Amino acid sequence: MAPDDKNRATAAAILPLVGGAQNITSVAHCMTRLRLGLADRSLVQDEALKALPAVMGVVEDDTYQIVLGPGTVARVTPEFEAMVTEGRAEAPAEHALTAEELAEQGAAMKEARKAKNATPFKLFLRRIANIFVPLIPALIGCGIIAGINGLLINLEWLPAITPALAAIASGFMALIAVFVGFNTAKEFGGTPILGGAVAAIIVYAGVANIEAFGQKLSPGQGGVLGALGAAVLATYIEKWCRKWVPEALDVLVTPTLTVLLSGLVTIFGLMFLAGEVSTGIGTAANWLLDNTGAFAGLVLGGLFLPLVMLGLHQALIPIHTTLIEQQGYTVLLPILAMAGAGQVGCAIAVFKRLKHNTSIRTTIKSALPAGFLGVGEPLIYGVSLPLGRPFITACVGGAAGGAFVGFFSMIGDKVGSTAIGPSGWALFPLLDGNKGLGLTVAIYGGGLLVGYLVGFFATYFFGFSKQMLLELNTDTAPSPSPAPSDAPATTPPPEKQPATA
């Protein structure tokens, strides 16, 4: 089957299982998940959806999220959107009222869930993620090119090409503040180009001639944090102008006042303040790993999976981006990636322990390749989290791998990533550090190995109680009818109690 046909078939299989086109209120995607707004959650057929070959798992948050994996989700989403549009156009007119009532009912249910589960802090973090996540493909592409260029320079190969590769790899990072400003204004309800215009002040070379707080400013001072703050300010000024400026003058006065006022505040306040915060983040990260590397790695690697479960990992995105801006790489991501290694080791142990549970073993076999590449959702939601104890032992594996990488950072061998997004084996092309590439790769690879092994042994020996094994280690596939026999009937065994974690 051609790739386009395969993606279309996946979208066609998903649509009826989520209630059809009339049940879809919004469609979006991130790195691995198709995110759907639903009018009526009860119309979704969860088990049938999970059984689709292309679906790695499902997650319910403020949107219904279907895990398809990196690459696949970006190709399936446009096909799905097209089918939703076609389905709505083909819907009979007499069903309009029913769909309307259904949408109102679904909206009420959705708002009730949001009120119960969402907190202002989580909503803020979700907004921050919406600003930075669209930048990840460019960060990955430029980061890989930077890694290739560094390798060519070290090997003294293609000297005529390496300056061009350096320009390609660095161009985006030089202007990343502009993209952050654009996305910030868009997310907070302003005019995106005005947010980008204000953020562009931060990277303009001419700011070197301006003095603020008794110091000369430098281009890029404040970085992405300054750009974010400047664009938020511009959005609020723009909204104020839209409210008070007469319509006849709006097209001239509003953008002028927005850029002027927010620009002055950015130059004479935000650039300096955000620069101090950015410098503090870099200093704190380096101090933490230089002085408490093994312990810091243990805590970060061990707690990252729970942070992901709570959605709090999104708070780390601007920190990663700030470190990449300052140092060329983030020292935190390779440590956090060890959580995925613990998850993989855990899954292999579950596979070994539950030799007779064909259902769980099939899930692991299909999800494990993605796990090695750093896509952990299928293993988390399909294996370790539902089982309980294995989720904890997976965190133990992540803690061990994080401590390993953190220890080497403490003795001066830093391991970093030039981009955010990938993890596991997919992070190898993005690795960088303060020593040679060979040592950096070896330390990261060693951390993965430690995470695999500790996650495996912790789960194998401590991940199951006797009752859990008794309950779970059975063949879930339907068995064929037994042949007639003259043997006397036996009394069936007593019903087993459900396992507890």
Provide DSSP, 315-384: GGHHHHHHHHHHHSSBSSHHHHTHHHHHHHHHHHHHHHH-TT-HHHHHHHHHHHHHHHTT--HHHIIIII
Cα-flanking dihedrals φ and ψ of residue 483, to 5°?
Answer: -70, 150
| CA dist., res. 314 & res. 122, Å (int) | 9
| CA dist., res. 303 & res. 297, Å (int) | 10
N-term to C-term CA, the chain: 43
| CA dist., res. 275 & res. 264, Å (int) | 16
Cα 163 from chain centroid? 32
How many residues are there in the chain?
Answer: 501
Please return the burial class of 27, using the count of CB atoms within 10 Å of its CB with bins 0-12, 13-18 and 19+: middle
**How many of the other CB atoms lie within 10 Å of CB of 343?**
33
Which tokens is 473 given?
């280690």
**Is 395 part of the annotated catalytic residue set?**
no
Provide DSSP, 234-294: HHHHHHHHHHHS-HHHHHHHHHHHHHHHHHHHIIIIIHHHHHHHHHHHHHHHHHHHHHHHH
Which is the catalytic residue, given 30, 142, 241, 346? 30
**How many of the other CB atoms lie within 10 Å of CB of 282?**
18
Are 454 and 341 contacting, i.e. CB atoms less than 8 angstroms apart?
no
Residue numbers annotated as active site: 30
